[in-house]
Structure 1
Amino acid sequence: MDSKKLRIVYMGTPDFAVAPLRRLVETGYHVVGVVTMPDKPAGRGLHLQQSAVKRYAVEVGLPVLQPEKLKDPQFVETFRALRPDLGIVIAFRMLPEIIWSMPALGTFNLHASLLPQYRGAAPINWAIINGETESGVTTFMLNHEIDKGDILCRSRVPIGPDECAGTLHDKLMVAGTDLVVETVEKIAAGDIVPVGQDDIAPAEIREAPKIFKDTCRIDWKSDRRTVFNLIRGLSPYPVAWSELRRDDAAPLAVKIYRAHPDPDAGAGCAPGTILSDRKTFLKVACADGYVFLDELQVAGKKRMPVADLLRGFQRIDACVFV
Structure 2
Amino acid sequence: MRVLFAGTPAVAVPSLDALVKAGFDVVAVLTRPDAPLGRKRVMTPSPVASRAEELGLEVIRAAKVDSPTIARIAEIAPDVAAIVAYGGIVPGAALDIPRHGWVNLHFSLLPAWRGAAPVQRSLIAGDDVTGAVTFRLEEGLDTGPVFGTLTESVRSEDTAGDLLDRLSVSGAVLLSQTLSAIDAGQAASQAQSGEVSLAPKLTLEDGRLDWREPALALNRRSRGVTPEPGAWTTLDGQRVKLEPVRLRPEVNDLRPGQLRIDGKSVLVGTGSHAVELGRIQPAGKKMMSPADWARGLAAPERVVFE
The residue identity in structure 2 corresponding to 1:170 is D
1:129 and 1:226 in contact (8 A); partners too = yes
Aligned to 1:126: 121
Runs of 4+ off more than 6 Å: none
The residue type equivalent to 1:159 in the other structure is V
Aligned residues: 305
Match of 2:267 in 1: 283
Deviates further, 93-102 or 60-69: 60-69
Counterpart position of 2:141:
146
What is the CA-CA distance between 1:68 and the residue it aligns to?
Answer: 4.5
> What residue number does 1:215 align with?
206
1:306 to 1:44, Cα distance in 2 relative to 1, 3 A: closer
CA distance in 1: counterparts of 2:103 and 2:78, whole angstroms = 13
1:184-230: CA deviation from partner (whole Å, max 9, x where unpaired):
11111222221111xx213xx33211111222111111111111111
CA distance in 2, matches of 1:268, 1:69: 52
Q: In structure 1, which of residues 70, 79, 86 is the aligned counterpart of residue 80 of structure 2?
A: 86
Percentage identity across paired residues of the two chains: 33
1:101 aligns with 2:96: yes
What is aligned with 2:279? 295
What is the match of residue 274 of structure 1? 259
The yes-or-no answer on 1:24 pairing with 2:19 is yes
Distance (whole Å) between structure 1 residues aligned to residue 230 and residue 39 of structure 2:
22
CA distance in 2 between counterparts of 1:51 and 1:189 reads: 32
Summarize deviations over 1:121-140 as a string: whole Å, max 9, x none: 11111111111111101111
User: Where do 1:1-322 residues align within 5 Å?
Assistant: 6-72=1-67, 74-92=68-86, 93-197=88-192, 200-202=193-195, 205-245=196-236, 251-264=237-250, 267-277=252-262, 279-322=263-306
Out of 212-221 and 132-141, give the one that drifted further: 212-221
How far the C-alpha of 1:116 sits from its partner, in A, is 0.6
Q: TM-score, normalised by structure 1?
A: 0.90
CA contact (8 A) 1:90 1:110 kept: yes
Q: C-alpha distance in 2, partners of 1:63/1:288?
A: 54
Distance 1:165 1:76 in 2: 33
Letter in 2 for 1:79: I
Cα distance in 2 between the residues matched to 1:131 and 1:69: 33
TM (normalized to structure 2)?
Answer: 0.95
1:300 partner SS: coil
Can you give the 5+ residue segments of structure 1 that lack an aligned partner in the other structure? Answer: 1-5, 246-250
User: What is the letter of the counterpart of residue 255 of structure 1?
Assistant: K
1:252 maps to amino acid:
Q
The alignment partner of 1:294 has SS state of coil
Deviation at 1:18, TM superposition (A): 0.8
Contact preservation (8 Å) 2:123, 2:224: yes
Supply the RMSD in Å over aligned alpha carbons. 1.5
Distance 2:254 2:41 in 1: 47
Q: Is the 8 A contact 2:261 2:300 kept in 1?
A: yes
